[in-house]
Amino acid sequence: MRQKGMSYSKIKTVLNVSKSTLSNWLSGVVLSKEQLSKLKEITPQKIERYRETMKIKKTARLETVFQKAQSDIGILSQRDLFVAGIALYWGEGTKAQPAHVALTNTNPAMLQFFLKWIDIFNIDKSKIRIRLHLYNDMDIKKSMQFWSKELSIPLAQFRKPYIKKTSSFSITYRNSFKMGTCSVTYGNAPLYEYIMMCIKVLESPIIRS
C-alpha cells in the first residue's frame, strides 16, 4: 500500500495499527517525488471533507433502503406479530426457567416489542417483573427510571437490580444504551409451554419445506 503511494493515515485506518508501528514497518520504503508530492496535497481538511461526504452519501443510501424495508414490511397484522414474537423468543427468549416467559436485552426497542407481543396473550401486566443487570459505576436510580419510562412499567414492579463487580468501561459490544441489561419476566407456566410448542412447530420439517 505504501509503495502505491498511500499515506500513513490511510494505511493505519485499513490495518488498524499505530503510526509508530507503520514507521517501523515502512522505514525502508522510499517513495518517488511524484508520490510524495501527491501526499502533500492530502491535507487533514481534505480528509475531513471526504469523510463527511462519504457519511452523507451513506446516510442517504441507508434512508432509501429503510424506506424500501418499511414498505416491504408494512403494518404488522396480529398474526404477523404472533409469528415474529415466536421467532424472537426462539432466538432470544429465556428457556432455563420453565414456568417463566422472559427476555433479556440492552435494547429498549426489542423489549418494547416483546411486551407488545406477550400482550396478545391477554396477560395480567401487573405480574410483569423487571430486573436490571448493572455495572458498579452506574447510577441505579437513573437506570431504573430510564427502563421504567421506556417500557411503561411502574418501578413497583422492579426487583432489586443485580450489580456486577466490574465497571461499565469493560463493555465491549457496540450499540449499548449504557443503561445496563434489562430482563422482562412474566411468570406463567401454561403460556411458557405453549410458546415452546409454537417454537417446536417452527422447527418442524413441514414449516421449513
Average pLDDT over residues 9-22: 84
By mean pLDDT, which of 28-37, 47-56, 62-71, 149-158 is the weakest?
28-37
| 143 vs 132: CA distance, rounded Å | 8
Average pLDDT value over all residues in the chain: 88
What are the angstrom distances between the C-alpha of 12 and each of 22, 24, 38, 50, 206?
Answer: 7, 13, 18, 17, 51
Look at residue 191 and tell me whether its pLDDT is greater than 60.
yes
Residue 50 pLDDT:
72
Cα 189-133-116 angle, rounded to 5 deg: 50
**Residue 171: C-alpha distances to residues 130, 135, 168 (Å):** 22, 9, 6
Query: What proportion of the chain, given as a percentage, has pLDDT over 90?
Result: 58
Bigger pLDDT: 155 or 170?
A: 155
- Please write the tens of the pLDDT for every residue from 63-90: 999 999 999 999 999 999 999 999 999 9
Residue 54 or residue 123, greater confidence: 123
What is the model's pLDDT at position 30? 79
Give pLDDT, residue 142. Answer: 94
The model's pTM: 0.71
